[in-house]
Amino acid sequence: VHIPKPPTHQLIGQMVGSTRESVSRALGDLATQGVITVERRGITIQARDALELATGHARRLRTPRSALAFDGTNDRRRAPV
């Protein structure tokens, strides 16, 4: 994903309640890790999964409750026998 005209670090800081310096540091860290590329013409996300993980928005695979067996083995309220 390429963001051709990203907001300034100052504006991002204001939007998330942080400072320009913190935003610059965070973007620099992500660039060093190879997660994003920051250039004059924009920001490119190189590794979306790593970005989601770094920001705490990683998609978690979960078993839907409806798929669990209803035989009492998945009932956490029950004490083990």
What pLDDT, on the 0 to 100 scale, is given for residue 71? 53
Cα(54)–Cα(35) distance, integer angstroms? 9
Mean pLDDT score of the chain: 82
Domains of the chain: 2-58 (1.10.10.10)
2-13, pLDDT tens digit by residue? 999 999 999 999
Cα of first residue to Cα of last residue in the chain, in angstroms, is 52
pLDDT band for position 70 (50/70/90)? low
